[in-house]
Structure 1
Amino acid sequence: MIILGLILLIIGIVASIPLLTTIGTILIIVGAVLWILGATGRAVGGRKHYW
């Protein structure tokens, strides 16, 4: 999710498409939150690890 967010963010910046930039930023933030929660051992969506 973080990688997809980075790709969309870069495409949005290069192509000057604000919608892709916004979606990319949101995906990066959500992916980072899920990654941190999974790394602390907290169950995310019923799983101990988030892939």
Structure 2
Amino acid sequence: MELVRVKSKFQITIPVSLRKAACLKVGDILDITFENGHIVLRLVTIARKKS
């Protein structure tokens, strides 16, 4: 478990170990929900539109 602090604009920083484990990159989109008393982040995969 890693602890993060909620900043003044309700922002958090995802720890490096979790970013690496989830293969997060700048520009990725996350879905955020509140489930059973927990904040849950899920990486969203968006298919590119063929032109």
TM class by shorter-chain length? Answer: under 0.3
Higher relative contact order (CA 8 A, sep 6+): 1
The TM-score, its normalising length taken from structure 1, stands at 0.22
- Using the size of structure 2 for normalisation, the TM-score is 0.22
Q: Which has the higher helix share?
A: 1
Q: Which has the higher strand share?
A: 2
